[in-house]
Amino acid sequence: MVASVFELFKIGVGPSSSHTMGPMTAACDFAATLPAGVARVRAELFGSLALTGKGHATDHAVLLGLSGERPENLCPDASATTVAAIRATGRLRLGGTADIAFDEARDVLWHQRERLPFHSNGMRFTAFAADGAELCTSVAYSIGGGAVVGEAEIARNAPPEGLADAPHNFHSGDELLRMAAATGLDIGGLALANELAAHSEAEVRTRLAAIRAAMSDCIDRGCRSLEAELPGGLRVRRRAPAVLALLRDRQERALADPLAVLDWVNLWALAVNEENAAGGRVVTAPTNGAAGIIPSVLRYYERFAPGATVEGADRFLLVAAAIGSLFKENASISGAEVGCQGEVGVACSMAAAGLTAALGGTDMQIENAAEIGMEHNLGLTCDPVGGLVQVPCIERNAVGAVKAIEAARLSLLGDGTHRVSLDQVIETMRRTGADMGEKYKETSLGGLAVNVVAC
């Protein structure tokens, strides 16, 4: 099913869409369904959630979700106060209303050696009565990009969330190109028509503007932050404020450097992912771990492309979402499932396609740019040091953003004719993820995570 632009771009909080936003949503959903008389709740985390959850603030997310908080409404500054109060008092306001005892050591369990059957990001929530009797239990999976599915959806093989009434329900890149040719609409036009099946055009434009504003605000917050170090114990220093000062100081000299524009792209990507690592407000694009790529490439278009327009920026997001939908349906956007090729790789492909569309590229050039963006991220592992979304994640976003611009420029140098199709690359990415060892899929058990001292 075609994914909506508003499913792939969600406003939420860091540091992880799958390990923070997903568990918070699942915990909140569970708390909202509980009957009266619940005296205790227990959350169990499995697989990748258990292995890297503390570095990804999964424990905070679960406490906040059980308290009735959702990522899209959460104030990052207030959330720390809520978590601290729960830990200090041993009390939790279940669903934001019922006050219950909560012993985190007893009620949040980390099953690092166990994995639930459907996905590595599995959770089980259980509610108990005052006499200890089990009242109900629920299993949920965080499948990437903040999306959550339960056992009921899995059992009935329910389609992924998407635009159920989309008039142009494409399932492959080839099908997308054929539909565009048959209807006389370009890829951006098809994507917009699908959104108009669920929303008015005014609403679509307003919501796209809100996404762009949230991305821009995140860049600006990251650039002006006064915090020297990111949380988590790695002692990673924020670089964006110092880089901004350096670039402003070099502005006159930069005129003689044809690649100076890329320094700004690097800055904007670093700023977003430093904000994400600090638990700030970000937009999944399509995940938090890759949240810096699309905003920085979009700002590159807005600031440096001759003739950039609001309509072009909207087209950027719509086309990027159309490409992201193909990855979500036919492969994965979860680092715990296919490694970082499913996060940074997909974001790079989406950004390359979006930029090509905004710059006036043809549909074949857009498909070519998306293919280039992923082809050169195949096999990218997810091995965060210390389970934190910092090393190598932050710099990886800057590299991915520059690579997306390069992919777009390469595609625009040709007519869109190329040997390897986007569909072939997506299938290769899926198979590569299946072949990849579990220690390279967001477990912090391999790669940089074990070869770099985390303390």
- Domain contains 164: no
Question: At a CB cut-off of 8 Å and minimum separation 6, what does 363 contact?
Answer: 176, 177, 180, 181, 186, 187, 416
Residue-wise pLDDT for 317-373, tens only, equals: 999 999 999 999 999 999 999 999 999 999 999 999 999 999 999 999 999 999 999
Convert the pLDDT of each residue in 66-101 to its tens digit. 999 999 999 888 899 999 999 999 999 999 999 999
Average confidence score pLDDT of the chain? 95
Q: Are 341 and 391 found together in one domain?
A: yes
Looking up tokens 């399509």 gives 286
pLDDT tier for residue 455 given thresholds of 50, 70 and 90 = low
| Spatial distance between the Cα atoms of 408 and 422, rounded to a whole number of angstroms | 14
Instruction: Say which residues have a Cβ less than 8 Å from residue 214's Cβ, sequence separation at least 6.
Output: 11, 281, 282, 283
pLDDT above 80: residue 443: yes
Would 423 be classed as within a structural domain? yes
How many Å apart are CA 6 and CA 4, to the nearest integer?
A: 5
Contact, 240 vs 223, CB < 8 A? Answer: yes
Instruction: Name the more confident of 455 and 199.
Output: 199
100 membership: H or E segment, kind and range: strand 98-101
Question: For position 1, what pLDDT does the model report?
Answer: 83
Domain identity same for 139 and 189: no
Residue that finishes a domain, picked among 129, 156, 183: 156
Domain boundary residue, one of 125, 156, 187:
156
Q: Report the number of distinct structural domains present in the chain.
A: 2
103 and 215 belong to one structural domain: no
Digit-coded pLDDT (tens) for 37-68: 999 999 999 999 999 999 999 999 999 999 99
**Same domain as 177, residue 77:** no
Calpha distance 268→224 (Å, rounded): 11
190 and 120 part of one domain = no
User: DSSP character for 237?
Assistant: B
Backbone angles phi, psi at 378, to 5 degrees: -60, 135
**Domain shared by 248 and 372, yes or no:** yes
Does residue 112 form part of some domain?
Answer: yes
Classify residue 451: in a domain, yes or no: no
pLDDT per residue as tens digits for the range 180-206: 999 999 999 999 999 999 999 999 999
The whole-angstrom distance between residue 198's C-alpha and the CA centroid of its chain comes to 23
Do residue 218 and residue 297 come from a single domain?
A: yes
Residue 140: band (very low, low, confident or very high) from pLDDT cuts 50, 70, 90: very high
DSSP type of residue 236:
P
Find, among 293, 395, 397, the residue nearest to 8 by Cα. 293
Instruction: Tell whether 72 and 178 lie within a shared domain.
Output: no
pLDDT of residue 188: 98
The last residue of one of the domains, among 156, 188, 213, is: 156
The answer to whether residue 3 sits within a structural domain is no
pLDDT at 151: 83
Task: Say if residue 189 is in the same domain as residue 123.
Answer: no
Q: Please, where are the H alpha helices in 339-455?
A: 344-358, 363-375, 393-412, 422-435, 448-451
SS3 state at 147: strand
Same domain, 125 and 241: no
Q: Inform me whether the pLDDT recorded for 255 exceeds 80.
A: no
**Within a domain: residue 294?**
yes
pLDDT value of residue 165: 86
Q: Is residue 137 part of a domain?
A: yes
My answer on whether 216 and 83 are in the same domain is no
Sequence-ordered list of residues with C-beta below 8 angstroms from that of 226, at least 6 positions apart, any chain: 241
Residue 4 lies in a domain: no
Domain range spanning residue 182? 173-197+199-440
Mean pLDDT over 26-43 rounds to 96
- Per residue in 265-320, pLDDT (tens digit) is 999 999 999 999 999 999 999 999 999 999 999 999 999 999 999 999 999 999 99
Residue 454: per-residue pLDDT: 55
Which CATH number goes with the domain that contains 127? 3.30.1330.90
Contact call for residues 280 and 225 (beta carbons, < 8 A): no
Mapped onto helix, strand or coil, the DSSP state of residue 193 is: helix
Say what the pLDDT of residue 258 is: 86
Which tens digits make up the pLDDT trace of 149-167?
A: 998 777 665 555 678 889 9
- Please indicate, yes or no, whether residues 145 and 220 belong to a single structural domain of this protein: no
Distances (CA, A) of 424 to 326, 371, 372, 409: 12, 9, 11, 21
Q: Give the tokens for residue 6.
A: 């508003």
